[in-house]
Amino acid sequence: MSYSPKSIDPRDRLIFALDVPTRSEALEWVDRLGDAVTFYKIGMELLTSGEYFQVLADLAERGKKIFVDLKFFDVPATVASAVKGLTRYPVTFCTIHGNDGMMRAAAAVKGDIRILAVTALTSLDQHDLDDLGFRCEPEQLVLSRAKAALAAGCDGVVSSGLEVAALRRDVDHALITVCPGIRPVGNVDDQKRTMDVAEAFAAGADYIVVGRPIRQSADPRAAALAMQDAIAAAVARR
């Protein structure tokens, strides 16, 4: 099927992974990046600081969009309670693991939050999936979980950019695709299934999540702005 791109502000398509251990470091990054980044992911590393919801409030006060990436995984009633609790906050995205019961329970109470099902972590390759007992290729697993997520009432998935083309070919285009593991240069970290910015959007990604390539650059704000330019150009070509 021909891909139907969503109407999303191009500058909101870049999500910066605020993977830092304290509120003070988080706010330093928000101030440093300024208007180069409008959307932030806050995950497990910040959760253990005890300042997670303070940072969430700080981001909201600065007019930023918020992606709560805690990958909830528990019995369906507990996952639903956690998601329902999040509806008290200005959260755009929230992640849960792609189990049918969990997904249905979360979707039933999500309010304005868009629920993203985790398909296969980008740190996993075929060997890792074999060890976990998944007797299929990553693409097959991602497609299966994406279809189940939409059927359960979820809004989208977190997926490697390598599987996005297949998702756009075989799954309803209402599906939101959020792609971590974006690497603009040669990859030397723990992410195994990676893609660069232009490739991800050419394949049909809606959003990308970027952390280390911005944080570890000599000029993080310039790196973020360069990615924004690359995103705008890639989206315009679709």
Q: Indicate the pLDDT class of residue 119, thresholds 50, 70 and 90.
A: confident
Q: Does the pLDDT of residue 231 top 60, yes or no?
A: yes
Residue 18 inside a domain? The answer is yes
* Mean pLDDT, the chain, integer: 87
Q: Is 50 left (phi over 0), alpha (psi -120 to 50) or beta?
A: left
CA dist 162 and 92 (Å) reads 24
Q: Is 191 annotated as a binding residue?
A: yes
Contact status, residue 91 vs residue 66, Cβ threshold 8 Å:
yes
Query: How confident is residue 2, by pLDDT bands cut at 50, 70 and 90?
Result: low
Asked if the model's pLDDT at residue 38 lies above 70, the reply is yes
**For residue 130, is pLDDT > 80?**
no
Domain assignment present for residue 1? The answer is no
Confidence band, pLDDT 50/70/90 cuts, at residue 102? very high
- Is 120 within a domain? yes
- Which burial class, exposed, middle or buried, applies to 4 when counting CB atoms under 10 A from its CB (0-12, 13-18, 19+)? exposed
Residue 131 lies inside a defined structural domain of this protein: yes
Rounded mean pLDDT of 5-31? Answer: 95
Whole-prediction pTM value? 0.88
pLDDT at 44 over 70: yes
> Using CA atoms, how far apart are residues 143 and 111, in angstroms rounded to an integer?
26
Is 216 annotated for ligand binding?
A: no
Cα 136 to chain centroid, rounded: 23
Task: Give the number of domains in the chain.
Answer: 1
User: Is residue 143 assigned to a domain?
Assistant: yes
Q: How confident is the model at residue 79 (pLDDT cuts 50, 70, 90)?
A: very high
More confident residue, 186 or 10: 10
Per-residue model confidence (pLDDT) at position 236: 87
Catalytic residue among 6, 64, 65, 71: 71
Annotated binding residue 53: no
Pull the structure tokens for residue 196: 């660069």
Q: Which percentage of the chain shows pLDDT scores above 70?
A: 85
Whether 6 is catalytic: no
Q: Which residues contact 24 (CB under 8 A, 6 or more apart)?
A: none
* CATH number, residue 99: 3.20.20.70
Instruction: Consult the annotation and say whether 112 binds a ligand.
Output: no
Domain range holding 145?
10-236
pLDDT of residue 1: 44
Any idea of the CA torsion for 18, 92, 99, 190, to the nearest 10 degrees?
Answer: -20
Which of 1 and 30 is assigned the larger pLDDT? Answer: 30
pLDDT of residue 188: 46
Is position 138 annotated in a ligand binding site? no
Mean pLDDT score, 51-68: 97
